[in-house]
Chains A and B, each alone.
Chain A
């Protein structure tokens, strides 16, 4: 135990560099997946067949490819096509695209859960599609969507570790590098696990808060 604390003090600063990158990757891909997910969901519920079918196939293609393969594709294959991305860019882009499919399905479920009478009421006062979405449907869908959205945040935090496979030195990779050079596997990976857990707990509490609020109505 004493050894663990000594190791912890020694490795903590290096691991914190990893934490910083983990947060950058998570936040970056969360934002990207949210925007893309909203776009896919809007296309899906637009009522325009071509858009809705395009979005449905996109979502299925994205869902059908493992995140790690998507990352390899962006980082190793794109340069052959003339697009060179830094490891960090590829990680954010890859995770963002991968998770946009889940976000889209979540958003769509939230939008479709809104009572049809709400949409008719909006139409009956002359609102068009976009105004109905913006003023009536989306504000109500947010309440429904937030709890699962919080869960996606937790999953993305953990899945940001997959960026290690394309050399982004986030928390998991920092841990692996320290472990392989010091052989202090137990200390290092316990520390890494605890640090992920520490970052997850505020998110878990946030989800609980969202769920309570959604249950109120």
Chain B
């Protein structure tokens, strides 16, 4: 349902994506791993048009992603995003954050949106925090609200941009648990992450990216257990055994 075809992207003179070819099938969980600055996040941000790309083509369900075209709104309501730093709206409660999109973008009825909002908050384990404002919540709770906000759009896929990187270690598990449940329910997910355990257990496929190209890709367990490319081997050794 998501296709990337020879995607190039530069920031000024620095070329961060040098011809990315990839596709994500419906119901698939794809993890993108790789060193910092390799272009992982940029790929996600191009898919829902937060960034433009210079060359190649990205399409979602056959619809070309063009951040300057009106169709981008359509794409964004189908492909939600969860950010590293949560980016909840601090002036609104958890529940208001969740129903913001359904109410004001999709123009759903207030009663229906609120009811589903509460259900979603319960689903991420935060039913009792509906009326709390984001600054009153822990990082892990904020990220779970952000996931509920993404789900409220009833998307066909969700992009996760290092969703646990800004969390205290003991809060990571809660967020990963919610994501694992989503994967089990058949949600299409693209996850940029440094959590190799999550990638191994939950992902169907893993892409290893370095220097703006996909160095290696394959089934999650195979790639993570028996990486073929020396750079993948080197990266995984550093991540898994840092000492």
Contacts and interface: CB of A to CB of B under 8 A. Distances in A.
Contacts of B100: 125, 135
Nearest to A135: B104
A117 B135 CA distance: 15
Interface string B92-118: 000000001100111000000000000
B30 to A, nearest CB: 19
A46 interface: no
B81 interface: yes
A136 B89 contact: yes
B173 interface: no
Contacts of A185: none
A121 B89 contact: yes
A115 B88 CA distance: 11
Interface in B135-167: 135, 149-150, 153
Interface residues on B, range: 20 to 34
Given A117-B87, A140-B90, A124 B104 contact: no
A132 B209 CA distance: 33
A125 B91 contact: no
B87 A125 contact: no
A125 B76 contact: yes
Contacts of B48: 124
Contacts of B105: 125-127, 131
Contact of B76 (A115, A118, A124, A135): A124
Interface in B47-97: 48-50, 73-74, 76-77, 80-81, 83, 85, 87-91
Interface of B: 48-50, 73-74, 76-77, 80-81, 83, 85, 87-91, 100-101, 104-106, 135, 149-150, 153
* 3 A-B pairs with least C-beta separation: A125-B101, A121-B87, A124-B81
Interface of A: 115, 117-118, 120-128, 131, 135-136, 139-140, 217
